[in-house]
Amino acid sequence: MGIFDFLGGGSGPEKALKLKSKVTQKYGDPTTRQKALQQLGEMKIPEAVSVLLQRYNITVEPLTTDADEKEHVFELVQSFGKDAVGPVTDFLRKNEAATSWALRLLEVLLPEAEVTTLVVETLTSLSGKYLRNHEKLVVLLHYVTGKQDPRIAAAVLPHLDDMADDVKLATLKALGPLKYEPAREPILKLLSNKEIARRVQTAALSALQESGFSTQGYREQVEAAMTEPFFLDGNGLVQRRA
């Protein structure tokens, strides 16, 4: 029999799961929630990490208390070390919200290359899937932006077809510096769509300029969508005025 059996509530994993309702309690005395968080932090079992992470799925008033508790959860999960990697990775893959917290935790638990691998795998798994909360994709796309890992471009490109403009914008920003040739035509097709928002057209022009892609086959459509500070030079390349 373990220590938590003596304290009541069954085994460690069972006790951790029973605390979930207190961790996610939005109203009432906040000390009940805070005590549950502290209890979980002392358990040092993977199930406790999984329950602690559920705190990121709610927002409480006042917002200062919310921020303080979420930072406290970050510190508690971090204290688990490598034992937290599995639960945090699972949270990243399965949860639509709180992606930024999951990434922040993984960044202190793992080398950057391993975090990038997880993000690439998650982006690939989410390709073509409908998400009610598109913030998850935006956060993941922002994470890989500016990184030169050869796996990133192929994982990013499919999200150019996402329904949300914010996802399109984040995808274009990530693709620009990668100069990924298979992205040329999809970007040009997106730019040619007269129904897309002006800010998406501008981001597409920026991605074409940064990539150095030719507009061959789409010159007329690109000219029709052209806006300052961009222009089309004699070689059919999008340029930005200084």
In this prediction, residue 2 carries a pLDDT of: 46
The pLDDT of residue 11 = 59
Tens digits of residue pLDDT in 117-127 = 999 999 999 99
Residue 99: CA atoms inside 13 Å, Cβ hemisphere, count? 21
Residues 222-239 have a mean pLDDT of 95
Q: pTM of the predicted model, to two decimals?
A: 0.91
Mean per-residue pLDDT of the chain: 94
Kindly write down the DSSP assignment for every residue of 152-218, as one continuous string. HHHHHGGGGG-S-HHHHHHHHHHHGGGT-GGGHHHHHHHHH-TTS-HHHHHHHHHHHHHHT-B-TT-
Q: How far apart are CA 67 and CA 216, in angstroms?
A: 51
Query: What residues does 238 pair with on adjacent strands?
Result: 232
